[in-house]
Amino acid sequence: MAVLLSVLDYAVVNIAMPEIARDIHATASASIWVINAYQLTNVISLLPVARLGEKFGHARMCLIGLIIFVVASLLCAMSQTLPELAVARAMQGLGGACILGVNAALVRYIYPSHLLGRGIALNGLIIALGVALGPSVGAAVLSVASWKWLFLINLPLGGVAFYFALTALPQTQRTNVKFDTLSAVLLALALGGIVVGGDHFSGGNGGVVGIGLLTAGVAAMALLVRLQLTRSHPLLPVDLLAHGGFSAAFATGFLSFLASNFFIISMPFNLTDVLHRGPVETGIVITSWPLTIVLTAPLVGRLADRYPAAILSTLGMAILSLGFLLLRLLPATPTDLNIAWRIVVAGAGFSLVQPPNNKAMLMNAPKQRLAGASGMISVTRLLGQTIGGMLVAITLGLAHPSPTRSCLAFASFSAFLGAVASALRLFSKSGRGMEG
């Protein structure tokens, strides 16, 4: 329930952006910070709150995250101006990070090793449901109430989730490690500079400011990595990334989300502007992506408990690449069914990648480093989505005469690179040894 709340709340706000912008008297370009404030705070906070989970307990961090999320939802509903709403959304992003940063670690403690793939697949199913239901829930609420109720419904739902978390989540192993404030600040500067600078640049407003932010972000990341190499318990888990199995899983996950964002963002433009579909028809066709993930999740969970990620994720990335290539090669006047079955192929490939790959990240981390691995799973997703969004914006602005087809070509190529990264585990002892 906690994961569904954090994912669903991000998805439902997108559809309400025009109404929110009108009501708080903000321009369309400025109001994008209602979304960006959530996502930026979320990605910056994931690893620090995962570290706090190691220190204070994963279940406790989840409970704290739910409290922050519910209070922030109330503040969102009470907001009258864009700065007020952006600050409240940033607070929501922090609450969501507390939930998602320890979620995989909690699943690792709850499920025995031989059923871990099913637990991860169930969480993937919940995330896919949140993404799929977001527009429908948002439209349903807006049809009978104002946008403020998109946040107010979180109060009773968050209360129920808090009760279950308080009574059911397990107490987990804690480590007495001092919180590394300097590393947390450098991480915020690094990710903040890269995300905001890239967004600034991809929006066509790059120039000196965009390049400066990107440069500052990369410089901060370099300093952070250098500092982490001197730490026995690094905030940015370079010790885990030094493990071949973990780094291969991280690269595979990142490229899968990078590829999927090339598709998810550009495909609606392709359907409406190139293939001349209406909004309802576009929504129905696109729904075949999350629907495929939802329907295949139980099977993939069972497969993830029987076969290694080196095989399943490689196969999944290859199918994902094929699906996007088939979409790139669509005829000039395809039927809806012709489009949908290709999306189903890609969706089945993406579904086959995530549970075994996430399981590999957890299994290739020592138990006392589970929170760091859990945080990195969410960082993988958010970085892939964020950088993917930037690259899509650049491609749509520069690639002519067929920018949406170029995005699908990049999606297929990114997934192919992910298949290569995953396949390297087949030839690496460290990539196979700790997955069972």
What would the pLDDT profile of 210-261 be if each residue is shown by its tens digit?
Answer: 788 888 988 998 999 889 888 877 888 887 887 778 889 999 999 999 999 8
What would the pLDDT profile of 57-89 be if each residue is shown by its tens digit?
Answer: 889 999 999 999 999 999 999 999 989 999 999
Same fold across 1-170 and 236-436: yes
Which class in CATH covers the domain with range 1-170?
mainly alpha
Lowest model confidence (mean pLDDT) among 29-38, 165-174, 224-233, 281-290: 29-38
Dihedral, 371, 374, 380, 381 alpha carbons, nearest 10: -130
**Mean pLDDT score of the chain:** 85
Q: What is the pLDDT of residue 327?
A: 95
Mean pLDDT of 125-149: 80
What would the pLDDT profile of 296-305 be if each residue is shown by its tens digit?
Answer: 988 998 899 8
What would the pLDDT profile of 145-192 be if each residue is shown by its tens digit?
Answer: 888 998 999 999 999 999 999 999 988 777 777 888 899 999 899 888
Domain ranges (residues) in the chain = 1-170, 181-230, 236-436
Q: What is the pLDDT of residue 434?
A: 47
Quickly name the fold that domain 236-436 has: Growth Hormone; Chain: A; (1.20.1250)
The stretches of 305-369 forming alpha helices (DSSP H) are 309-328, 336-363
CB atoms under 10 Å from CB of 1, counted, come to: 16
